[in-house]
Structure 1
Amino acid sequence: MSESAANINYKELYEASIMMVQQLNKSLEQQQKSNQSLQDQVTQLQYQLQQLTKLLKGFKSERFLPSAISNLQPELGFSADVAPPATNLSDVKKVSYTKTKKSSADIEISDNGTRLPDHLRRETTILEPTEDISDCEKVGEEVRETLSWKPGEIFVNRTVVNVYRRKTASKRGKEIIIKASLPVRAIKKCLADPALLAQITVDKLVDHKPLNRQIEAFKRNGVEIPYSTMADWVGLVAKALIPLGTIHLKEMYKYEYWHADETGIAVLDRAKQKETHKGYFWTFLTGDGKMIYYDYQPGRGGERPLNILKDFKGHLQADGYAVYDELPLENITVFYCMAHARRKIYDAQSNNEKLASYALKEIAKLYAIEEACKEEQLNEEQIKDRRNKESLPILKALGDWMKKEYQQLRPKSLIAQAFAYSIKRWEKLSLYAHTGNLMPDNNAIERCMRNVAVGRKNYLFCGSHDAAQRAGLLYSLLVTCKLNNVNPYNWLKDVLSQDINEMPINRIKTLLPYNWKGQ
């Protein structure tokens, strides 16, 4: 072989080696990307498994306990003292009643040693010894109390209207008949009176007891009520309360700060033969937490909240749902809920505990400031001043830190997604700190959504879109009762005992739960 041929072979071998190395590097890079993608998928699946496990176990607490709490004490004012454990009921010393006589045989206790409420009615049963006591002197008595129960009684309310005729005839010779007027009712010519209608409605929408279960309970008391009849009664109650619902919403428009949220509800739809339609309750709560309105809409599109929000002016706090940002309304300032941002970071602890813990500690400082304002009972101006001095610097530093850390993270990792959620919305998450009246989170309305969530687990669906609208109206007024510490049964019974349709508006306003003087 010649020298030139040998040189050519070495050159080809060198070039082939270079190509092989490049191909190996490219293959290695692809393999690394594939491994990273698989790792991200595993992380996502682990997160989903964690969320499903929480749902199955019923544990949804997001309480965060920093590992190094001593570092937070100077800034948050945490006490180093550990709270004593809750007392075990088995260790509670028995409480005895006041004795009527100072006698060792005179003892008054309940069966488990707990003092029972004094306001409860007592039914007394006196037991005498079977032995002959004619030659005995009473030296005391032992009183034992237990809580008892009588099932609700359904009975017939019989109203007798006496009719009279004047003995002396009128000038025209016609008889003059005199009789009493029938009691006033919001629902006329109904077989059920206000007390029963109120009980059925409150059982369903406040105590989450479906109509079929109520029907079974009535059967045990010897009364059979058809399902269709009971459903019609609830519909009549909702129809009677429409004037109150309309005025209630108008009263809410006087407030310039609302919370907003939405939750799904299954609805029977004739157009869908094999499955239910998923509608939504678009819910709005006034900033003082005293007035709420549930507006049913068949969908979750951007035009749905306009039904209510077209007449609202002020600050609207939402959970980050993009629809609220796209509202074509100039009079509404939308801002977001810090609790939702915190929740995503909390759920990402398994992915990167160090970064998540730091962010959670900083958010804890913000809530500690809010708690201090509440404890010190500061007014709006004082709260605004405290937030400007303490909260805004924390928010700015935390936002800048998250942006810096995000650049070094894999975009598909849980912690990166949690940071991306907050970074995108940080300005609107921080808006509350520029005021003294807005809240950092939407927790007030989140608590109110439980009424629907628990209810739909029991009654499963609404019978039609109209029925869902009626349920929204009833929820609006009955949950408002709860928010104002008004007994919903007493309120509804009283309202249904009024002729609402014949009342002027100023009289109807007095029947709204927050104006009602019935208790």
Structure 2
Amino acid sequence: MSAIEPSQELSRLRAELSCAQAHALETEAELARVRAVNADLQARNAHLELMNEKMRRDKYGASSERRRVLDQFEIAFEEAEADASAAEMEGQIAAARTTSVAPFTRKRATRRDFPADLPREDIVIPAPEQCPCCGSGSLSRLPADITETLEKVPARHKVIRTIREKVSCRRCEKISQPPAPFHVTPRGMFGPHFLANLAFQKYGLHQPLNSQRDRLEAEGIPISLSTLADQIGAISVVTRPLFLLLEAHVLGGDRLHADDTTLPLLARYKTDIARIWDYVRDDSPFGGLSPPGVVCYYSRNRKGEHPRGHLAGYGGILQVDRFAGFNEMFRQSTMTRANCWAHSRRQFFELVDVARQLKRKKGKPPIVSPLAMEALEQIDRIFAIEHTINGQSAAQRLQVRQDSVAPLVRDLEVWMRRHLGLLSRHDAVAKAIAYMLNDWEGFTAFLGDGRICLTNNAAERQLRGVARGRKAWLFVGSDRGGERAAMMYSFFGSARLNGIDPLAWFTDVLARIADIPQGQLHELLPWNWKAAQQTQIAELAA
């Protein structure tokens, strides 16, 4: 009796565990469904607001302000539509894991046929020659199913018609047809190159979707803004697993560059200032072999809790500026802080920059600080030596720094401490000196580790595109829109860091990502993709 009871208890516990797991999956699917419904309602509401604003502006608005106001409403609608599409796909993925929760499908406008004058290219998938059911060769042909997908080719568009032949068996009356090919986004309306170009134009070249829509209409291809935004939302869901692999690689580096920049966020009756944070892994300055990469994150504000969350558990070297939000993070972790000398140098340079002063203080004579000039000359001598060891091994860099750079840094410290005691604390030179001396340990960390760079320019370079883009798209329309933008900046920034064409790479990613096994997904990372391309070229040349 005692030998049976443990077995029964184990079976009961397994049954309860299975039931709990099924219940958890159902709850997750129901939650995803609710999110999809809410996102769909928000997209519909944004569309109604856009239509209302268009009618109101057409009737009452001054012509000079119509376009600017409508641009704002269209970008907000674009983000809401992309949110709804992404939530729909996430809900469908969650529902597929259960048997009791039905997926939510958005109601969309009836699909319009593509213009008849666009060239067509037929891809015929032949039907089986024998019945898969009974093996009979007595087959009769039925009308084939045709799916039209808009694809982009250089300098022109074309519609690819995928014709799946269908046959019926005369003996067993079984209808056979090859399966439909994979399409990147639902309904198979657009090809991978078209979608990659859509995303790259928006996030890589900073061209909003409403501008892309206008360009397509000028080329004779009328596609609604909601349809284009729908595709962006779907792309973000499809490529999410690849982003997680990229994130794991970048945050696994021994040394990272970190920075942030502003990102205007559309809010009710105003524009909030959100942030984009970037973390760059680039080992090339000290001859490292690991491929470079960048991951970006979005946050609603600039609180220090965000970088602490991004780098939870990280214990390597972090190169940053003197942003106070990082201070608590370094106190709570084993990370090594390495401050940026370019930031400190800039403060001295501004005090001797005649052109900048003339531009800012029109009509006033420029003032050149002799002390700032002296500090700048000492710092530039350090930069000159650092320039000669860029790309050498960490051990070689460390040796040169100990022999040649450390004496210059000691002389600079003595000079700064001497003059700081002679200047008023409100003096501009005193403030520039205090900026360095208040965290001198962070500024001198590079003297004890050859992997550390003198500046944080690697992170700043990755955010230049965001700064340029702000002038084109004005703001992001939602928090999820900011998260999508951060993920796409990560993709295209990593591709550029690895010296490959972001558009060509992303096109291949979208063409292959659903068919590739999960264990081989790493092959689509930029550096692995580049190596595979080079291997193919070498084989063809041979």
TM-score (norm 2): 0.64
Deviation at 1:378, TM superposition (A): 3.3
Deviation at 1:182, TM superposition (A): 2.3
Contact 2:300 2:479 in 1 (8 A): yes
Q: Which amino acid aligns with 1:266?
A: P
Q: Which amino acid aligns with 2:505?
A: W
Determine the C-alpha separation between the residues in 2 that align with 1:344 and 1:338.
10
Determine the C-alpha separation between the residues in 1 that align with 2:335 and 2:154.
51
1:307 pairs with 2:309: yes
1:298 pairs with 2:312: no
Q: Decide which structure has the larger Cα Rg and report it.
A: 1
Match of 1:246 in 2: 244
Determine the C-alpha separation between the residues in 1 that align with 2:368 and 2:436.
16
Match of 1:203 in 2: 201
1:451 pairs with 2:449: no
Match of 2:221 in 1: 223
Counterpart secondary structure, 1:440: coil
Q: Taking structure 1 as reference, are residues 330 and 311 closer, same or farther at Cα in structure 2, changes over 3 Å only? A: closer
Contact 1:312 1:332 in 2 (8 A): yes
Match of 1:156 in 2: 159
One of 317, 320, 340 as aligned partner of 1:318 = 320
Counterpart secondary structure, 2:161: coil
Match of 1:494 in 2: 508
Match of 1:44 in 2: none
Paired residues for 1:88-237 under 5 Å: 152-167=155-170, 169=171, 174-237=172-235
Counterpart secondary structure, 1:162: strand
Counterpart secondary structure, 1:412: coil
Deviation at 1:230, TM superposition (A): 1.3
Contact 1:348 1:418 in 2 (8 A): no
Deviation at 1:499, TM superposition (A): 4.3
Paired residues for 1:469-508 under 5 Å: 469-500=483-514, 503-508=516-521
Determine the C-alpha separation between the residues in 2 that align with 1:472 and 1:208.
13
Q: Which amino acid aligns with 2:328?
A: E
Contact 1:313 1:332 in 2 (8 A): yes
Q: Which runs of 4+ in 1 moved over 6 A?
A: none
The gaps in structure 1 that reach 5 residues or longer are 1-149
Q: Which amino acid aligns with 1:197?
A: L
Counterpart secondary structure, 2:333: coil
Determine the C-alpha separation between the residues in 2 that align with 1:288 and 1:175.
64
Counterpart secondary structure, 1:415: helix
Counterpart secondary structure, 2:280: strand
Determine the C-alpha separation between the residues in 1 that align with 2:248 and 2:513.
21
Match of 2:278 in 1: 283
The gaps in structure 2 that reach 5 residues or longer are 1-152, 285-291, 353-365, 535-542
Q: Taking structure 1 as reference, are residues 251 and 291 closer, same or farther at Cα in structure 2, changes over 3 Å only? A: same
Determine the C-alpha separation between the residues in 2 that align with 1:157 and 1:467.
31
Q: Taking structure 1 as reference, are residues 398 and 499 closer, same or farther at Cα in structure 2, changes over 3 Å only? A: closer
Match of 1:437 in 2: 451
TM-score (norm 1): 0.66
Match of 1:398 in 2: 412
Counterpart secondary structure, 1:514: helix
Deviation at 1:151, TM superposition (A): 8.0
Deviation at 1:312, TM superposition (A): 1.8
Determine the C-alpha separation between the residues in 2 that align with 1:305 and 1:398.
32
Paired residues for 1:250-399 under 5 Å: 250-269=248-267, 273-288=268-283, 290-327=292-329, 329-349=332-352, 353-374=369-390, 378-399=392-413
Counterpart secondary structure, 1:217: helix
Q: Deviations over 1:441-487 (max 9, x none)?
A: 00111111111111121011111101110111111011111111111
Q: Which amino acid aligns with 1:371?
A: H
Contact 1:491 1:518 in 2 (8 A): no
Using the TM superposition, name which of 326-335 and 276-285 deviates more: 326-335
1:416 pairs with 2:426: no
Identity across the alignment (%): 30
Deviation at 1:379, TM superposition (A): 2.1
Paired residues for 1:10-25 under 5 Å: none
Determine the C-alpha separation between the residues in 2 that align with 1:510 and 1:282.
26
Deviation at 1:393, TM superposition (A): 1.1
Deviation at 1:334, TM superposition (A): 1.6
Q: Deviations over 1:171-191 (max 9, x none)?
A: xxx323332332223323242
Determine the C-alpha separation between the residues in 1 that align with 2:470 and 2:444.
34
Q: Taking structure 1 as reference, are residues 457 and 319 closer, same or farther at Cα in structure 2, changes over 3 Å only? A: same
Contact 2:338 2:452 in 1 (8 A): no
Deviation at 1:352, TM superposition (A): 5.0
Q: Which amino acid aligns with 1:358?
A: E
1:513 pairs with 2:526: yes
Q: Taking structure 1 as reference, are residues 427 and 236 closer, same or farther at Cα in structure 2, changes over 3 Å only? A: same
Q: Taking structure 1 as reference, are residues 458 and 444 closer, same or farther at Cα in structure 2, changes over 3 Å only? A: same
Deviation at 1:229, TM superposition (A): 1.8
Counterpart secondary structure, 1:436: coil
Q: Taking structure 1 as reference, are residues 218 and 151 closer, same or farther at Cα in structure 2, changes over 3 Å only? A: farther
Deviation at 1:503, TM superposition (A): 4.5
Per residue, is there more helix in 1 or in 2? 2
